Structure 1
Amino acid sequence: MDKNFPISGFSSLAIHGGHVQDPNYAHLTPIYAASTYVFDTAEQGMRRFSGQEEGYIYSRWGNPTMTEAEDKIAAMETFGLDFEVKGILHASGMAAISTLFLANLKQGDKVLSHFSLYGGTQEILNRLLPETGVQSTIVDLRDLNKAEEALQQDPAIKMLYLETPANPTIQCVDIEELTKLAKKYGKIVACDNTFATPYLQQPFKFGVDFVVHSTTKFLNGHGTIIGGILLGRNIEFMKTHATKIHRLLGGNSNSFDAFLLVNGMKTLEVRMERHCNNAMAVAHFLQSHDAVAKVNYNGLPEHPDHLVALKQMRHPGAMMSIELKDGLVAGVKMMNKLKLCTRTVSLGTCDTLLCHPASMTHAGVPKEQREKYGITDGLIRMSIGMENVQDILADLDQALR
């Protein structure tokens, strides 16, 4: 594609963005299965190590397949915006989150975050960061007064960390208003955009400094890789300090996973449209089902965060969670009776996935904290897939009866 062509559509960008013509003119950027790269001269090697010359050195530091994935996601996260961001591909979403925290926080700093985060993120805040002298403060950030009160009262807070929609309660927080508050007090803002993807939500549009993704999920879309990415608005910081932390931690991606990620992302828009349309139908069906006590889905007007989701998302998304009237016992029976949908953790694949967060994704979070955050023993999380919606509904109905 000619780089000067004015792309006007998201799918065109998802297909062509980030691609650089391979020197051997392969149609797709190949899997660069090389651990290290050769220098023409000793002087060239010196220039590359010193940063005076661009070029590949060692695949822990990057290679062409990984670069295309980084550049494609960066382009999607800033589509329609008038600035660029820099992405660093990681071995997992947790590796990307680790780089984010360790590159920005030091002993004595605090992270302000909210109820209901991915279990791994919750554990890193509660267990690992305190060992480095970094503490966390958790408040209900859907209440802007509470958010400002926390920022006012504690100057040690350095970062505001958001996850919206949040895992697994699907709570939404207002990215724009919270970012304004954080910037008023000179704080860094980071946002996990995994559930939404850049197609449904662009946190950089609202002024955040960093975005993280588990690329394992909707970005890849097929359940074939583990990966993550950290994207930053301060390109110099990302190329220097964040890159150094990433390389030293060793949480690099690899060319095979990057290849699968690149090709998965090309269908992101069409996949998300099907996921989202199916999710809306499933939410309405479950809302009226006799066995269901509660449906957590931002697309329903009854959801407390419905208006926030409409404000900052193209569509409320493909994720939801439900509470059954008979609690955990009913949930176990339902999951055991599934015939089409899949019992597994993770999300964002073509098939509909159901899991039990309290015993699976959030098993490492103490029970009292889980319940405080709305993650009850009877909660079932659902990632709505791309099957024909009538088949999803028929399987859920028979499993609930």
Structure 2
Amino acid sequence: MTHKNINGLATAAIHACSAVMPEHAHAMPIFATSSFTFDNAAQGMARFSGEEKGYTYSRFGNPTTDAAAKLIADLEAFGITDEKGNTIEAWGLLTASGQAAMATMIMSHISAGDTILSGPSLYGGTHEFFHSILPRFGVGYIALDLNDTVLLEATLQQKASIKIIHLESPANPGMQCIDIAAVSRLAKKFDVLVTVDNTFATPYLQQPFKLGTDLIFHSTTKFLNGHGNAIGGVIIGKDQQSLQKVYHTYKLLGVNANPFDAFLLLQGIKTLATRMDRHCSNAAVAARFLQQHPAVSKVNYNGLETHPDYELSKSQMRHAGAVLSFELKDGFEGAIRFIDKLNIFVRAVSLGTTDRLVSHPASMSHAGVAREQRLKAGITDGLIRMSVGLEDITDLIADLEQALST
């Protein structure tokens, strides 16, 4: 991070990359160019060989996309020190989507015969990638309760082919949390890589590097961008060397982000702290309202004392977050009726935007997951996922109240 006198993450989100702006621009410019020129042939050869730093082709790197990736990496590493007390450095690669970030990160560290270990509740796209794509390349997948450390250690002992433990905490859409520090300690004992999807939390609420993980990825489309106007993803490692493996796969797959989307992401991150505070406070009120409503049978929000991961969430997150899910007593019919009756809520499968969004995971984001596996992850036919927005809380509650009425 360029600024050494920044003490708060909210300040870092606004000012961390401002000292490296080209031509002293107030906002990072959009470098809308496919290629970069060389003064002579020798310079071109030096850049391609790595002898000289500099840009060559935007698929390999671009000032705008690199600025956004480095800013997010700085936020993930903010205030974290190593065993010797030195501030850790982190680096990132910005991708065309969160799915591209996840797939590139995983593919960079596995080969045929390897196995990935994860929890039973994952984003639908990640679940399908593990179940439908990777087996075609000889990669196995095991899902188990990662908070059962006895079972986890036994599995790692018995299955030497496990190379990655992939965590999603909080999980989508049941909001289950995983003890990231405990899993990371066990993984290091068996020399297994730990990767984390930190999309729901963002570095403002949770910093997995502080808990011992190796690689982090985000769908930047969500809370980091915050305005629903650009698709993107990012992969973050603790140092440049840890990302070299990822970068090789990244540039050959061509999963790079585009400069315009990176520009929008940079603008969105500036208000991350302010937005997350409002998102979270609204979500807490909404969760308590839903918890007492007679039409609702269950609320999944780890900020509620009744959530099984309430204490764990408090120990590793600054706040429970802004996404929740709840089950309606009338099942599928009740879920559809509720969604159709909403007035202010936006019906969409994304999350993390300024407005409140609702979706029906069973038929939307997790439609590609087999019913048996879906139910095992708690995704019932009556489950609604809600990303709570920044609107006035009284309007939010009023809309929920009328939509839940029979």
TM range, smaller chain: over 0.9
Question: 1:268 — aligned with what?
Answer: 272
Indicate which of 133, 146, 161 corresponds to 1:141. Answer: 146
Question: 2:342 — aligned with what?
Answer: 338
Deviation at residue 221 of structure 1 after TM alignment = 0.1
d(CA) in 2 for partners of 1:231, 1:378: 36
- Is the CA contact (8 Å cut-off) linking 2:153 and 2:186 kept in structure 1? yes
Structure 2 length as normaliser, TM-score?
A: 0.97
- Is the CA contact (8 Å cut-off) linking 2:33 and 2:58 kept in structure 1? yes
Indicate which of 347, 352, 361 corresponds to 1:348. Answer: 352
- Is the CA contact (8 Å cut-off) linking 2:216 and 2:236 kept in structure 1? yes
d(CA) in 2 for partners of 1:23, 1:237: 27
d(CA) in 1 for partners of 2:53, 2:6: 27
Structure 1 length as normaliser, TM-score?
A: 0.98
| 1:1-150 matches, cutoff 5 A | 3-81=2-80, 82-150=87-155
d(CA) in 2 for partners of 1:351, 1:149: 45
d(CA) in 2 for partners of 1:306, 1:336: 31
- Is the CA contact (8 Å cut-off) linking 1:209 and 1:234 kept in structure 2? no
Structure 1, unmatched stretches of 5+, are none
Given the alignment of the two structures, is residue 256 of structure 1 paired with residue 256 of structure 2, yes or no? no
d(CA) in 2 for partners of 1:286, 1:146: 35
Deviation at residue 142 of structure 1 after TM alignment = 2.3
Given the alignment of the two structures, is residue 383 of structure 1 paired with residue 387 of structure 2, yes or no? yes
| 1:229-240 matches, cutoff 5 A | 229-238=234-243, 240=244
Deviation at residue 56 of structure 1 after TM alignment = 0.7
Question: 1:279 — aligned with what?
Answer: 283
d(CA) in 1 for partners of 2:399, 2:166: 37
| 1:200-219 matches, cutoff 5 A | 200-219=205-224
- Is the CA contact (8 Å cut-off) linking 1:116 and 1:169 kept in structure 2? yes
d(CA) in 1 for partners of 2:377, 2:24: 52
Question: 1:374 — aligned with what?
Answer: 378
Question: 2:399 — aligned with what?
Answer: 395
Deviation at residue 98 of structure 1 after TM alignment = 1.2
Deviation at residue 102 of structure 1 after TM alignment = 1.2
Deviation at residue 21 of structure 1 after TM alignment = 3.8
Deviation at residue 38 of structure 1 after TM alignment = 0.5
Question: 1:306 — aligned with what?
Answer: 310
d(CA) in 2 for partners of 1:303, 1:29: 42
CA displacement, residues 315-361 of structure 1 (integer Å, 9 cap, x when unaligned): 00001000011111111111000001111111000011000001100
Alignment RMSD (CA, Å)? 1.1
Q: Which amino acid aligns with 2:12?
A: L
- Is the CA contact (8 Å cut-off) linking 1:17 and 1:71 kept in structure 2? no
Deviation at residue 237 of structure 1 after TM alignment = 3.4
Q: Describe the SS at the equivalent of 2:321.
A: coil
d(CA) in 2 for partners of 1:102, 1:209: 15
CA displacement, residues 290-321 of structure 1 (integer Å, 9 cap, x when unaligned): 11000000000110011110010000000100
The percent identity for this pair of structures is 53
d(CA) in 2 for partners of 1:302, 1:64: 47
d(CA) in 1 for partners of 2:295, 2:281: 23
- Is the CA contact (8 Å cut-off) linking 2:3 and 2:16 kept in structure 1? no
Deviation at residue 173 of structure 1 after TM alignment = 0.5
Deviation at residue 151 of structure 1 after TM alignment = 1.0
Deviation at residue 150 of structure 1 after TM alignment = 1.3
